[in-house]
Structure 1
């Protein structure tokens, strides 16, 4: 949602512009917002969609003579923008966003402290430019936790010509005028800037590029064509998706014939600093750990030494300079080191390497134990649901956290999952979902080996939710993964659902469902 709104505003020349506007109109909720309505997650998509619709109205009032004429927007564009503004005032003055940090749960989304001020600024400028009486002229306030200082510093950095941190390129659109043609970056092999349609659109600018062959333009055209005009928050995510898909399936015991080129696609990008989620992004510990774990499961173990780049005194950061921490990144790091040791490949480096790997496993396992909540669950900054974080941490600790502490923590996680199952057999933070049910089932059946009878019966009751999920189109699944906006990595989620179903079937429980 966020990314599509940015492309409407920043690249109105791109094929499918009218389709993207229609998408925004069709997906507005009855309360005037966009995106999931829960716990502050609506703010960023509602800001983006509202700003995009206002940009359509501004262009209609002041058309660019050098650009092809745009169709006059329908009346419902102004109506939708007005309802979006009304909802934004509620969001920005409500308990979550109007309170100081820590007073209420605010979503921990990448670059949110830059995205929100940049969109509020653009919306307020549009309101000043528009002459329609149907829209308010007074601007939106900034959240109490954001004063725009960091945004100003980043824009100064871009204007100076200095090379900013690579991860900033994923959100280059916050740079305003400084993003257009920014010399510190350029199209990757995929054609993208920062693996992001929004960043790519900002770099190209709001007029069709003079060079019709520029890869950045054809990246946008390709991504839009693949998704019927709308665009995802990031594309492509090949290494990230393949590593996770293979891990989910292999861990559940599903035999998957893996072509050599798939193994090559995982091992070839590995460098001394690790591997990145996508071209244009910096290497990170999470993708690196997931890739290393998948390679070990596939019989092609690679030393986990690139992960040392991300070690801190207490745990592993997702990337250098990270604000906060990720429990699931550390769970995946634990699996990467643990599985490499389990393959026996570590012995090739001698006793010294083995001892260092063992010490790292002990360190990360201990840190993860400290992060477990009193109720037995974990939460994480890269996913909205505690069921994902709990599955990641419980499975890693059960296998590599020690027979005592790790098994006890996994047992507390199973108890929490059993307590939180819904009457229809599903699991979910807000509503029951197939994705979250898959994580719950895996936690129940892949820890406490052999699974406890109560866990087996509960998993069986989740089977119908998993089957419903397989029959749903990708767009019907709620997005739960954190990026600039929530997103749904369909291949990864589908693999998790298949893994859950396979575990239920092989446990022989579906016939005994209660």
Structure 2
């Protein structure tokens, strides 16, 4: 391994091993829920300042297209609440601009193609109702949301029934019904792996273990909070899988591997404390353990088998191709099987005509395409599908050598380079070299959020690990290194 990559890889693993929460970007949606729900929590002024600083020039918040609707609604509701409490002019002015942005971006009927983010069908109507309660009935419920489902969940909880486990991560959608729900209590790790859900359970002035969780979490970012925490198992399994898949030789502390193994229960592994087990995290943990000589039985995946594919959770709305790609990798580590063959065929059938894949857990087709191609290639499956994906990657490279859905990014370029570096073709090597030049020129100043939870977020260490993996794969090929040396005659050339 190139010495210039060995040290960043070592440092990343060390930081990950000593951090029980994980490195995840602060969330506008989640932070705004804390502003609205628990103004007594330490760091409140910094959270308000964060919302004001994150407002876009057009008055909205969040990502492009429909990704901005939920965070904009959340921020508007929070700033209206803050203005009502304090009378401060800045939150009131920002809320007015946010309301104008809702109409400007999505029209008076809030018509938006909503992304398949977590619980979007109930979180959006919950916030529409909250804003309307503060201002009067000014906002409609957008198409694609389920206010009736939300009302039914609230009535169920009001009658004393326990909410479904998968709702706990988004408990704040239930509004007043979420306060002190008897069937769910925050612990040291909060409730539902969610700051907003924990805050909704506590309510204004609430105290107890949930408050300590929120206090500790907000202190990490000096006010704002991530969309979920703690997510150590998710972070560690993804990082180790990325390094193992690319052959990055980095020492992993036994305690990290022990923790991953201990995280696998009868129903598999959960990405973080308070989340239900799922096939995606389970498969990635199994793959990471197997790659580090800790093979674990895959029996716990059986309950997620849904015919010719695996569901991420029971009763999920839409299946995930990347979950199935991770399952395929875990199964292949145990040897060939009919189940693995069926999953490979299911993945190949969901390739888009242009050669890409898209998925419910990430905004970028480059993430989904890389996951699917790498999983299929590991088992020698679907050569035609892999060739089509390679053509799509070559055709969509940007003039600066990058790849990206909305703009060229480090993360998306890393995914493309990982696929191209494995292809062994001259044109792919040249494109990979140009991609490596872009990776090496990326300023170490953060990465745009592309991952799906309730809103978009960035798992910082995972993204950096994918970049290290991409460069390691590419620089192992002499032809890529030679081309890169021509592109980067300075320090990057020496790296090549």
TM-score relative to the length of structure 1: 0.86
Q: Which has the higher contact order (CA 8 A, sep 6+)?
A: 2
| Residue in structure 2 matched with residue 454 of structure 1 by the alignment | 427
Q: Is the 8 A contact 1:334 1:396 kept in 2?
A: yes
Question: What's the CA shift for 1:165?
Answer: 1.7
Cα distance in 2 for partners of 1:316, 1:23 equals 39
Cα deviation digits, residues 367-407 of structure 1 (max 9, x gap)? 011001111110001000000000000000011253xxx22
Please tell me whether residue 280 in structure 1 is matched to residue 306 in structure 2: no
Cα distance in 2 for partners of 1:338, 1:173 equals 40
Cα deviation digits, residues 331-380 of structure 1 (max 9, x gap)? 00100100122xxxxxxxxxxxxxxx601111100101100111111000
Q: Is the 8 A contact 2:233 2:272 kept in 1?
A: yes
Structure-2 change in CA distance of 1:235 and 1:147 (3 Å): closer
| Residue in structure 2 matched with residue 502 of structure 1 by the alignment | 472
Question: What's the CA shift for 1:144?
Answer: 2.5
Q: Is the 8 A contact 2:356 2:365 kept in 1?
A: yes
| Residue in structure 1 matched with residue 174 of structure 2 by the alignment | 175
Question: What's the CA shift for 1:141?
Answer: 1.2
Cα deviation digits, residues 432-467 of structure 1 (max 9, x gap)? 000000000011113x3xx11111110110123212
Question: What's the CA shift for 1:330?
Answer: 0.5
Q: Is the 8 A contact 1:114 1:151 kept in 2?
A: yes
User: Equivalent residue of 1:42, what SS?
Assistant: helix
Please tell me whether residue 90 in structure 1 is matched to residue 100 in structure 2: no
Question: What's the CA shift for 1:208?
Answer: 4.1
Match of 2:214 among 211, 215, 220: 220
Question: What's the CA shift for 1:92?
Answer: 4.3
| Residue in structure 1 matched with residue 74 of structure 2 by the alignment | 48
Please tell me whether residue 467 in structure 1 is matched to residue 440 in structure 2: yes
Question: What's the CA shift for 1:94?
Answer: 7.1
Match of 1:433 among 392, 409, 413: 409
Cα deviation digits, residues 93-135 of structure 1 (max 9, x gap)? 379x527xxxxx431011101100110111111114xxxxxxx
| Residue in structure 2 matched with residue 239 of structure 1 by the alignment | 233
Q: Is the 8 A contact 1:248 1:496 kept in 2?
A: yes
| Residue in structure 2 matched with residue 107 of structure 1 by the alignment | 115
Structure-2 change in CA distance of 1:507 and 1:323 (3 Å): same
Please tell me whether residue 337 in structure 1 is matched to residue 331 in structure 2: yes
| Residue in structure 1 matched with residue 145 of structure 2 by the alignment | 146
Please tell me whether residue 259 in structure 1 is matched to residue 259 in structure 2: no
Please tell me whether residue 369 in structure 1 is matched to residue 395 in structure 2: no
| Residue in structure 1 matched with residue 298 of structure 2 by the alignment | 304
Cα distance in 2 for partners of 1:3, 1:467 equals 33
Cα distance in 1 for partners of 2:54, 2:220 equals 19
Structure-2 change in CA distance of 1:363 and 1:193 (3 Å): same
Q: Is the 8 A contact 2:190 2:213 kept in 1?
A: yes
Cα distance in 2 for partners of 1:81, 1:358 equals 56
Cα distance in 1 for partners of 2:217, 2:445 equals 19
- Where do residues 488-499 of structure 1 align in structure 2 (5 Å cutoff)? 488-499=458-469
Where do 5+ consecutive residues of structure 2 fail to align?
1-27, 488-496
CA RMSD of aligned residues (A): 1.5
Please tell me whether residue 198 in structure 1 is matched to residue 207 in structure 2: no
TM-score relative to the length of structure 2: 0.89
Q: Is the 8 A contact 2:418 2:474 kept in 1?
A: no
Structure-2 change in CA distance of 1:218 and 1:251 (3 Å): same
Question: What's the CA shift for 1:206?
Answer: 1.2
Cα distance in 1 for partners of 2:160, 2:375 equals 44
Q: Is the 8 A contact 1:185 1:193 kept in 2?
A: yes
Cα deviation digits, residues 205-263 of structure 1 (max 9, x gap)? 11142xxxx22111101110001110000011111111110011111111011111111
User: Equivalent residue of 2:333, what SS?
Assistant: helix
Cα distance in 2 for partners of 1:228, 1:215 equals 20
| Residue in structure 1 matched with residue 372 of structure 2 by the alignment | 393
Q: Is the 8 A contact 1:92 1:142 kept in 2?
A: no
Cα distance in 2 for partners of 1:171, 1:372 equals 31
| Residue in structure 2 matched with residue 19 of structure 1 by the alignment | 46
Cα distance in 1 for partners of 2:185, 2:147 equals 27
Where do 5+ consecutive residues of structure 1 fail to align?
61-71, 100-104, 129-137, 342-356
Question: What's the CA shift for 1:510?
Answer: 3.7
